[in-house]
Amino acid sequence: KSILKPPDQLHLTEQELKEEFTKILTAENPRASKNVVRYSFKDKSFMTVPTTDHLAVHFSIDGNKIHEKSEEAKKQLKRGSLCFSVFQATPSQTVEQDMKVLQDDEENLKGDAALDADGDNSATKSRGDKKLTNQFNFSERATQPYNNPPRDKQTMTEPPPAMTYSANVTQWEIYDAYQKDYDKQVKNKDKKIVTKTQELKKKKTSSSVGSIFKNNFTKSLKSLKIIERMVTQNIHDEITYDYKYYEDASDEFKEQKGSLLPLWTFKFKKVKNLSVTCICWNHIFPDLFAASYGSYEYENQVEGEILLFTLKNPSYPEYIYQMHCSVNSVDFHPNYPYLLVAGLYDGNVAVFDVVTDCHEPVFLSNYKTGKHLDVVNQVKWQSHENENGLNFFSISNSGEVFNWTILKKLCTLKMESSDNLKLNGSTIPLELSGCGITFDFHPKIEDLYLVGTEEGKVHVCSKNQSNRFLSTYDAHFGPVYKVLWSPYCPSLFITCSDDWLIKIWDRSIESEPLFVFDLGCAVEDVEWAPYSSTVFAAVTQDGKAYVYDLNVEKHESLCEQRIAQKRNSTLTRVAFNQKHPIILVGDDRGTIQSFKLSPNIRKLPKDKKGQDQLKPEEKEALRRTAEVDKLEKLLVTVRPFVRVKT
C-alpha cells in the first residue's frame, strides 16, 4: 500500500519530526471573568472579588438512590413489603392476619411520628397522620420565594457657594466697559498688515456702543446657526440617512420602473397660501436653492416672498426677502453665487446680494431706468460678462425681451434698447400681440435663444438680429410654459404646454417633433436631468410627477408618482440638483418637497478600465462624451421616422 499525501502538505525533516514540544494544561476557565467588582450593601461600596470560580459544569442530574442502611431506606422497605403482601394475598388467608399486618404498620408509622415530634410537638398534633396518595412513587417538595427587601437611596449635595454683591450701574460705567472691550479687540488684531494699522490710527478712539454690539451679535449668530443645524439634523436623522445611504431594493425586480423617495419638506407660514412660481439651485453651493412665491391671478395679488433654503436646515429658510408684489421668477448667477435676480409681477426686476445683511434689493428698476409694461415671467443671468459689466435677460407678457446691464461704477441698472426684442416684429410696444412666457439661451452659441409664447409658438431668436425671428415652430395649441435646450445636444430642445403635451424638437426639423408625450393633464414644468442626456422630469396640474428615460423606454415613463398632498393642489415647478440625485417639486400651496431618485432612474455608464486614475476634469469630459454618443445613437433611430407617437 502506498500513502497518498495531499499536494499542500507541509514537508518536515527527521529532526523536525523528532523535536519535542512542551505543552502545559491548566485547569482554568478561559471564559471566566477577571477583576470582578460587586456592590456590597453591607459596606455600601463596590468590592473586588478576590477569587474566581473556574469550575465548568458540563452536565448535572439529580440522583434517586439512597443508602440501604439509612432510616429512609428502612421505611421504604417496610412499605414495599406491606404492598407486596397485599398483592400476594390469597382467598385462603384469614381476615385476622390482614388486620394484624395493618396494625403493625400503623404502629411503625406512629413510632416514626413520635420520633419526629421531639423537635416540634405542636406541629405534630395539628398535622395528624399523613396520607400517601401514591404508595409506589411519591415525593413532596415545597419552595418559598425570596422577597427582596425594600431599600431607600438618598443623595446629598453641597449647595453652591453664595455671596452678597452690590454695585451701582451708570451710563458712563457702561460706556467705559465697552471702551475697554474695544481696546482689547484692537490690540489683538494682526499687526503685520500695515494698511489695517494705518486705518486704526486714523479712526477715532471712541466707538459707539451699537457698533460693538452689532459685531458681537454677528459672531454669536454664526454659532447659533451651526447649533440650529446640528439640532435639526438630529431631529431628521432618519431622513438624512435615507438621503445618504438608502437605495430602493425593489428596483432589482422591476428593470424599467423607478420611484421617488420622499425626503425633506420645506414650508414657511407666510407663504402657506401662495404658489411656488420658481425654484433655482445655486451653481456653486449644491445644498442651497432659492424659491419665489406669488399668485398668478390678477384679481388676487398679494405680497410676494423670496426664500433661500438649505438642505442642512430644512425647518427654516436661511434668507427671507419680502416684496411688494408677487415674484414670478428667480435665478442665481453661475459665477457669482451671492447674486440673485428676480422678476416681479409689476414689470420690474430686482437684484439681491445675499452676502449683505440688507433685506432690500441692491438694484431695482423703475420707470426712469426702464421697466416692462406687463408681468415679468422669467429672468436669467448670462454666464459671460459684456464690456459694461454683468448682464441678464427678462421676458414679459408685453412681448418684449430686455437685456439688463449692471454698471459697476454707477451701481445702477441700464436697459439696452438695441437688444430689445418685439415678438411680433413691431417697434411699438402697445401693438404687440405675442405674450412671452419663457426663454432659454443656447448652451454653446451665446447669441442664440428660444422664446415660448402664450399662443403656443416657439421662436428661434438671435441678439444680433433683434428685428426678426430666425425660425418659428407651431409647437402647441396652448401656452408654452417651458422651453429648454438640451445640455448635451446643441440642436435638441424640449417644450411643455397647457395642451397636455411634452414635445422634443430637433432644430433642423421644423415640421414635426421627434417625440410627443401625452400626460392627460396640463404640464406645468419640464426639466432636463444634468446627469443623463436622455432623462427628463415633468409635473402636471393633477399633482403627479413623471420621469422619462428615452434610452430605456421611448413611449412610457419610468416613474409616475402622485406628489400633491391634497386633492385640489397643483404642482407648479420641478428642479434637478446638479450634484446629488435629488429633485425639488413645488405646488400652489407654498410647499416644496424633495425626493431621491431610485437607482433605475439614475443609471450611469460603467467606468472603463484605468478611468479611476484620471483627474476629475478628465472623468467629466469622458462622461459627457459617453452621454452625447448615447443620445446620438438614439436620434439616429428616430430622425428617419420624424415622429414617434406615444
Q: What is the pLDDT of residues 262-313, one digit of tens each?
A: 999 999 988 888 999 999 999 999 999 999 999 888 777 888 999 999 998 8
* pLDDT number for residue 435: 84
* pLDDT number for residue 255: 76
Annotation: CATH topology of 257-599+614-641 = Methylamine Dehydrogenase; Chain H (2.130.10)
Q: What is the pLDDT of residues 411-425, one digit of tens each?
A: 334 444 434 443 333
Q: How confident is the model at residue 211 (pLDDT cuts 50, 70, 90)?
A: low
Report the C-alpha gap between 549 and 538 in whole angstroms. Answer: 12
Report the C-alpha gap between 285 and 88 in whole angstroms. Answer: 104
> Hey, which of 200-204, 323-327, 602-606 has the most confident mean pLDDT?
323-327
Q: What is the mean pLDDT of the chain?
A: 79
CA angle 564, 567, 571 (to 5 degrees): 35
Query: Which strand ranges, in their side-by-side order, compose the sheet holding 457-462?
Result: 436-441, 448-453, 457-462, 471-474
Q: What is the pLDDT of residues 578-608, one digit of tens each?
A: 988 999 999 988 899 999 998 888 887 776 7
Q: What is the pLDDT of residues 213-235, one digit of tens each?
A: 556 666 677 788 888 888 888 88
If residue 39 lies in a helix (H) or strand (E), which one and from where to where? strand 37-40
Helices 209-235 and 171-188, axial angle in degrees (round to 10): 70
Domain coordinates in residue numbering, the chain:
181-235, 257-599+614-641
Predicted structure pTM score: 0.63
Contacts of 344 (CB under 8 A, 6+ apart): 304, 323, 325, 326, 327, 328, 350, 376
Q: What is the pLDDT of residues 3-43, one digit of tens each?
A: 677 777 888 888 888 888 888 888 888 888 888 888 899 88
Q: How confident is the model at residue 65 (pLDDT cuts 50, 70, 90)?
A: confident
Q: What single DSSP character describes residue 79?
A: H
Report the C-alpha gap between 455 and 526 in whole angstroms. Answer: 18
Range name among 103-112, 118-127, 258-267, 304-313 with the lowest pLDDT average: 118-127
* pLDDT number for residue 306: 93
* pLDDT number for residue 397: 86
